[in-house]
């Protein structure tokens, strides 16, 4: 039988990965390309959509060189979710920079909506809280403040969408303006259970409902390639899933009660809740995980920490303590403990369960005896501590403890971090053999859409373990560690 290939594009916050896999999940080729970050002023984070597209094309050139592209059965996409793009429907040209999920410029607008008593309405309708993290207030801001975006809207030329929608437009030569529920459910404008753009939500934000893309099931036909360098016309795009839901799928967490944590730019803990949404009582998010071809929907409970791997990048680029990100583990291992140093990674605010957009980072407990190693260790521990707050909130919502947690992402390769995470969570961690599960989820989504795999059971059978981390700390030690963290967070929120 001829080899079947699936092409996946994993568009992340700091770079784009392109992956070519066969139906046996063997990596044929993969490539990664960074792209610039833009910070117009404190708290603002932007991307240039053309630079994102250029990074995707760079990856495609590397991956497809010498490959028989006729064997590619389908394309799958996964993407940073709440980041929103604005482009011209007629020309396909970007009208502005994209506003990134980390951007906090709409913090005051969200606070104003909360003061009007609107948060309950949004949470019940969307499963989300009012925070600048989500796309809706970003779109409202752009319409008011960027003249060319507002003008395009008035002239009926404006296309708005998350990164997946922008990429599909580019892959199809502008033929399609589409998205799917896992991305749409992150905008504050998409109804969680009605599965449609909601006019009341859009009106409350001041966003015209007609600017949003058509929503199709996550595993379905989104369009066909047209005019993409290196690819023949006519290859179908058969699967799209937002990055954290894609990691949930890539981790084969396809049954209710299974959970994963992805350590990327941020840290994202998702729990599959099955075909019914679980509304959080402890300030977590309820989101759509994916929608199958038969239109059946799977939901998830989510807790997000905005900074994880980005903290290591800050240690590398901002502090200059290491030359490469992987060096932080060896530096942290030069000391036996952080010796009282605590780092709160609120570099772009605090995420779940606090949702404090104005919080800033803090490094506390420093003494004359503190070294580079203590700081490095405190940074890794700070990444782990955030997830304790999220998991404790999740367990309260569930009414029972979580037995295990699948882990993935770049920072999951850090054994010191994973062991400390297990210790402070008191939960066994399982790391898969192929750690880039966000990309793998895009492969699975496209393969399910194209019929390479029959159903989710086939996906579940494919998961393979690399290593597990069991808690080594006793309850007394764990409580002492968490007390230090709780005190540090309290200081951050008082500042």
The whole-angstrom separation of Cα 241 and Cα 441 is: 8
* Angle at 391 (CA atoms; ends 389, 394), nearest 5 degrees: 110
More confident residue, 348 or 211: 211
Query: What DSSP designation does 57 have?
Result: H
Q: What is the pLDDT of residue 1?
A: 42
Give pLDDT tens digits for 263-281: 988 899 999 999 999 888 8
Q: Is the CB of residue 221 less than 8 Å from the CB of residue 450?
A: no
CA 210, chain centre distance (Å): 26
CA distances from residue 417 to 68, 153, 409, 495 in whole angstroms, order as listed = 41, 47, 12, 28
Tokens representing 191 are 């109804």
**Band of residue 176 on the pLDDT scale cut at 50, 70, 90:** very high
Q: Is the CB of residue 446 less than 8 Å from the CB of residue 238?
A: yes
- As beta bridge partners, residue 93 has none
User: Is the pLDDT score of 35 beyond 80?
Assistant: yes
Question: pLDDT averaged over the chain?
Answer: 93
Give pLDDT tens digits for 438-477: 999 999 999 999 999 988 988 888 888 899 999 998 889 8
Give pLDDT tens digits for 334-350: 999 999 999 999 998 88
- As beta bridge partners, residue 350 has 356
Q: What is the pLDDT of residue 270?
A: 94
Question: How many CA atoms does the CB half-sphere of 440 hold within 13 Å?
Answer: 25
CATH top-level class for 5-243? alpha beta
Handedness of CA 353, 354, 357, 361 (dihedral sign): negative
State the virtual CA torsion across 188, 189, 191, 196 in degrees, nearest 10: -150
Tokens representing 83 are 């980041």
Tokens representing 117 are 């008593």
Spell out the domain ranges in the chain. Answer: 5-243
Q: Is the CB of residue 362 less than 8 Å from the CB of residue 488?
A: yes
The whole-angstrom separation of Cα 376 and Cα 309 is: 13
The whole-angstrom separation of Cα 285 and Cα 119 is: 13
User: Is the pLDDT score of 32 beyond 90?
Assistant: yes
Q: What is the pLDDT of residue 24?
A: 87
Lowest mean pLDDT among 189-193, 225-229, 311-315, 345-349: 345-349
Q: What is the pLDDT of residue 153?
A: 95
Q: What is the pLDDT of residue 275?
A: 92
Give pLDDT tens digits for 117-156: 999 999 999 999 999 989 999 999 999 999 999 999 999 9
The whole-angstrom separation of Cα 138 and Cα 143 is: 9
Give pLDDT tens digits for 359-383: 999 999 999 999 999 999 999 999 9
The whole-angstrom separation of Cα 167 and Cα 340 is: 46
Q: Is the CB of residue 198 less than 8 Å from the CB of residue 145?
A: no
**Band of residue 2 on the pLDDT scale cut at 50, 70, 90:** low
């Amino acid at each position: 039988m001829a080899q079947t290939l699936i092409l996946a594009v994993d568009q992340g916050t700091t770079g784009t990965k392109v992956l070519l896999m066969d139906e046996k999940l063997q990596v044929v080729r993969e490539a990664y390309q960074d792209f610039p970050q833009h910070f117009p002023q404190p708290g603002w984070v932007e991307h240039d959509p053309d630079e994102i597209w250029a990074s995707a094309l760079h990856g495609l050139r590397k991956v497809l060189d010498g490959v028989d592209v006729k064997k590619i059965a389908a394309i799958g996409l996964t993407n940073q979710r709440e980041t929103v793009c604005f482009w011209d429907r007629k020309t396909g040209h970007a009208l502005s920079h994209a506003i990134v999920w980390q951007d906090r410029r709409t913090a005051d607008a969200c606070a104003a909506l909360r003061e009007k008593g609107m948060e309950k309405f949004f949470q019940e309708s969307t499963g989300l809280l009012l925070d600048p993290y989500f796309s809706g207030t970003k779109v409202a801001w752009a319409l008011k403040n960027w003249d060319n975006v507002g003008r395009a809207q008035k002239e009926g030329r404006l296309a708005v969408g998350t990164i997946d929608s922008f990429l599909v437009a580019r892959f199809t030569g502008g033929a399609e303006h589409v998205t799917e529920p896992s991305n749409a459910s992150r905008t504050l404008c998409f109804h969680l259970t009605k599965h449609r753009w909601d006019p009341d939500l859009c009106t409350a934000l001041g966003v015209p409902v007609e600017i949003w893309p058509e929503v199709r099931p996550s595993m379905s036909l989104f369009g066909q390639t047209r005019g993409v360098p290196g690819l023949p016309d006519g290859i179908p795009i058969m699967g799209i899933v937002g990055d954290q839901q894609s990691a949930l799928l890539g981790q084969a967490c396809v049954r209710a009660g299974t959970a994963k944590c992805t350590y990327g730019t941020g840290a994202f803990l998702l729990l599959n809740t099955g075909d019914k949404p679980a509304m959080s009582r402890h300030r977590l998010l309820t989101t759509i995980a994916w929608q199958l071809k038969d239109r059946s929907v799977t939901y998830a409970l989510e807790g997000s920490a905005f900074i994880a791997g980005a903290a290591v990048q800050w240690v590398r680029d901002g502090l200059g303590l290491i030359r490469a990100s992987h060096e932080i583990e060896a530096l942290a291992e030069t000391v036996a403990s952080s010796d009282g140093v605590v780092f709160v990674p609120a570099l772009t605010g605090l995420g779940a369960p606090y949702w404090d957009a104005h919080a800033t980072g803090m490094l506390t407990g420093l003494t004359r005896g503190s070294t580079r190693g203590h700081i490095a260790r405190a940074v890794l521990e700070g990444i782990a501590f955030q997830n304790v707050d999220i998991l404790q909130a999740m367990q309260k919502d569930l009414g029972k403890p979580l037995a295990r947690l699948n882990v993935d992402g770049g920072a999951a390769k850090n054994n010191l971090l994973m062991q400390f995470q297990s210790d402070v969570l008191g939960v066994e961690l399982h790391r898969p053999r192929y750690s880039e599960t966000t990309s793998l989820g895009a492969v699975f989504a496209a393969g399910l859409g194209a019929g390479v795999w029959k159903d989710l059971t086939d996906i579940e059978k494919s998961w393979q373990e690399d290593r597990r981390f069991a808690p080594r700390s006793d309850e007394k030690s764990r409580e002492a560690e968490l007390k230090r963290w709780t005190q540090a967070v309290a200081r951050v929120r008082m500042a």
